[in-house]
């Protein structure tokens, strides 16, 4: 029964449309499914066994933030889903939403499981990132807020209509 259950779990992970990664308590990637590899564009041998900060996917300036978050997860804290910009193998960038969970074995931290969803299309179709919001004047932020939360169709006319 245990082998059958394990086989079913493995099939779910392998066929999942979202990326699923496990990271040991030292930060090294122990497994990843095909969707995670497709998201990064990297081959399995460039991901498995590497520290999550050394895969080339994270923006260098963001690494301290992710190390801090990783430590918090290991302490049993559940962070809210995180949106981050990452670098694919071909050098292009994309957006992912990451959900983190600590998996324990006999009451001790065993691995951190990460589920990644590609949100690139959503981010590129008008949703302002926090960085963009920081660069805009208050009036522009207010304008975007109205547009993003409108419950009716909006038409904006410029100049001569």
pLDDT in tens, 54-90: 999 998 888 998 999 999 999 988 888 989 888 999 9
Cβ of 46: how many Cβ atoms within 10 Å? 14
Residue 146 and residue 52 in contact, taking contact as beta carbons nearer than 8 Å: no
What backbone phi and psi angles, to 5 degrees, belong to 74?
-60, -25
pLDDT bin (cut points 50, 70, 90) of residue 133 is: low
Give CA–CA dist 160/26, Å, rounded. 61
What is the pTM (predicted TM-score) of this model? 0.73
How large a percentage of the chain has pLDDT more than 90?
Answer: 47
Q: List, in sequence order, every beta strand (DSSP E) within 42-125.
A: 82-87, 93-105, 108-118
């Amino acid at each position: 029964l245990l082998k059958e259950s394990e086989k079913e779990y493995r099939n779910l992970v392998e066929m999942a449309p979202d990326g699923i990664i496990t990271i040991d308590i030292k930060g090294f990637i122990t497994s990843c499914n095909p969707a995670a590899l497709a998201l990064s564009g990297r081959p399995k041998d460039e991901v498995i066994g590497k520290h999550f900060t050394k895969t080339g996917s994270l923006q260098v300036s963001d690494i301290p933030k992710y190390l801090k978050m990783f430590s918090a997860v290991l302490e049993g804290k559940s962070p809210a889903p995180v949106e981050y910009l990452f670098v694919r193998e071909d050098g292009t960038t994309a957006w992912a939403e990451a959900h983190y969970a600590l998996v324990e074995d006999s009451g001790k931290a065993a691995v951190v499981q990460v589920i990644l969803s590609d949100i690139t299309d959503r981010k590129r179709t008008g949703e302002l990132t926090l960085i963009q919001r920081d660069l805009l004047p208050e009036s522009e932020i207010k304008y975007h807020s109205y547009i993003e939360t409108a419950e009716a169709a909006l038409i904006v006319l410029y100049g001569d209509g």
